[in-house]
Amino acid sequence: MTAFHYHPDQLCGEDGPLTSVAERFGTPTYVYSRGAILANYRRLASGLTEIPGLICYSVKANSNLRILSLLREAGAGFDIVSGGELARVLRAGADPERVVFSGVGKTVAEMDAGLAAGILMFNVESAGELELLEARARARGKPAPVSVRVNPDVVAATHPYVSTGQIIHKFGVPTDEALELYRRAAQSKHMSVRGVACHIGSQILEVEPFLKAMDEILSVAEALRTMGTDVEFLDLGGGYGIRYADEQPLAMERLMYGLAARLRGTTYRLIIEPGRTLVGDAGVLLTRVLYVKQSQQKNFIVVDAGMNDLMRPTLYGSYHEIVPVEQRPTEKLTADVVGPLCETGDFLAQDREMPDVRAGDLLAILTVGAYGYVLASNYNPRPRPAEVLVDGHEVELIRPRERVEDLMAGEVP
Ligand code: LLP
């Protein structure tokens, strides 16, 4: 049984009907399944039993404190990319020794915060960053734990906005330069070299690019060994693709098998930074139909969630299935599902075959647990949605809906 299923014609989140969630908390509301998140985590962790390693949940996918706590309790570490994410994982009780800090633009304040917290390692992405990190560590009198993010120059089919592992991208440094940075780091008493990192992109469905990337970071680690520097961690990043429509999700078992074959008999510990894989299919967005507009050319279903609540369709052309919360026999129609914002780009689906819905009906937009709420904005001064966690029959409000007053906080007329 999946977390979101019909029983018998009512869409449920775990054991309770979503109509009652909408009645209690209003719409639009993000609903997450505790069971689905934990099942996703356990599936990944069980695939890693043969390889000693650490799952560092990529916080950017969904940074709600309750979800961070849930994953921490399950055993996850964290991959962070900002001081804000660091503060969040610490608030959720993270062990700093299980936190890796990625990102091309770390500021002095963020480095200082990471050093003060005692994180596992900074994944350094440029010579300038390494230099600054060394200076901050010197000022603090405590060595900075570093790995260098290698850009392995592998092509991985995905949306161009989330492809990161080629030389044309801003991320990481080429292998030669990485070795040069490691030489500098190894010579400095203010830095301790802990790993080699990479991250080739997001929503990747093929195993091979990951294995190529692993081969590349392994060869860097081996080159470091001959230079007399041993690293403990090989960080493969995240990017493991899931199913949104009819695509085959990444064959995680095949990837783990390939990784195990490469790492067996070595002393390296594997780090992976999954985001979407852990939370993507564990969330839906509940929205209510406001109006149905029919013109000669097109049908529009106007709902109370817009591009400010869920950016992915307009930002990446992403597909999210949209289903009625209460199923009843109806005709089908082809329609655009659109929000209330004043932009033509404000759509959640285009030319989609939909049930013949009416004003007041509830819809659920599926597979929005990752990069849903976190990308939401207040555009067209719209309060961001509520977030709710379901667990069996229980429903917990894990972030209240913003109020219009919140949107004006700190401003003066
Ligand atoms: N590690 C690093 C260094 C990353 O930059 C990312 C994602 C991840 C791990 C996690 O990737 P995941 O396992 O979730 O694919 N907003 C886009 C996705 C952006 C991904 C950015 N980096 C979307 O909605 O598809």
DSSP, collapsed to helix, strand or coil, labels residue 89 as helix
Residue 303, H or E segment: strand 299-303
Residue with structure tokens 């044309």?
A: 168
Distances (CA, A) of 61 to 218, 249, 264, 364, 373: 27, 18, 30, 20, 9
Spatial distance between the Cα atoms of 209 and 212, rounded to a whole number of angstroms:
5
Spatial distance between the Cα atoms of 288 and 309, rounded to a whole number of angstroms:
13
233 CB less than 6 Å from ligand 1? no
Tokens of 64: 């709600």
Residue with structure tokens 């929205």?
A: 287
172 CB less than 6 Å from ligand 1? no
pLDDT at 375: 98
* Residue in 202, 234, 348 to alter for ligand 1 test, most ligand atoms within 8 A of Cβ: 202
Sequence spans of domains, the chain: 4-32+280-408, 34-277
Spatial distance between the Cα atoms of 371 and 62, rounded to a whole number of angstroms:
6
- Alpha helices per DSSP H over 61-121: 65-74, 83-91, 108-117
Asked, as a colleague might, if the bond just before 385 is cis with ω within 30 of 0, I would say no
pLDDT at 1: 52
304 CB less than 6 Å from ligand 1? no
Spatial distance between the Cα atoms of 376 and 28, rounded to a whole number of angstroms:
12
Spatial distance between the Cα atoms of 142 and 342, rounded to a whole number of angstroms:
52
Per-residue pLDDT of the chain (413 residues), as tens digits, is: 589 999 999 999 999 999 999 999 999 999 999 999 999 999 999 988 889 999 999 999 999 999 999 999 999 999 999 999 999 999 999 999 999 999 999 999 999 999 999 999 999 999 999 999 999 999 999 999 999 999 988 888 788 787 777 888 888 899 999 999 999 999 999 999 999 999 999 999 999 999 999 999 999 999 999 999 999 999 999 999 999 999 999 999 999 999 999 999 999 999 999 999 999 999 999 999 999 999 889 999 999 999 999 999 999 999 999 999 999 998 999 999 999 999 999 999 999 999 999 999 999 999 999 999 999 999 999 999 999 999 999 999 999 999 999 999 999 99
Spatial distance between the Cα atoms of 366 and 355, rounded to a whole number of angstroms:
16
DSSP, collapsed to helix, strand or coil, labels residue 295 as coil
Residue with structure tokens 């309790």?
A: 73
Q: Which CATH class is domain 4-32+280-408?
A: mainly beta
| Domains 4-32+280-408 and 34-277 fall in the same CATH topology | no
pLDDT at 291: 98
Ligand 1 center to residue 169 CA distance, Å? 14
pLDDT at 47: 87
342 is catalytic: yes
pLDDT at 199: 96
Nearest CA to ligand 1 atom 5: 199
Q: Which fold has domain 34-277?
A: TIM Barrel (3.20.20)
In terms of Cβ atoms closer than 10 Å to its own Cβ (0-12, 13-18, 19+), residue 243 is middle
Ligand 1 center to residue 239 CA distance, Å? 6
pTM of the model: 0.97
Residues 341/308, Cβ–Cβ less than 8 Å: yes
pLDDT at 164: 79
Residues 363/327, Cβ–Cβ less than 8 Å: no
Residues 338/302, Cβ–Cβ less than 8 Å: yes
Among candidate residues 371, 322, 323, the one with its CA nearest the CA of residue 347:
322
Helical packing angle, 252-263 and 208-226, nearest 10°:
20
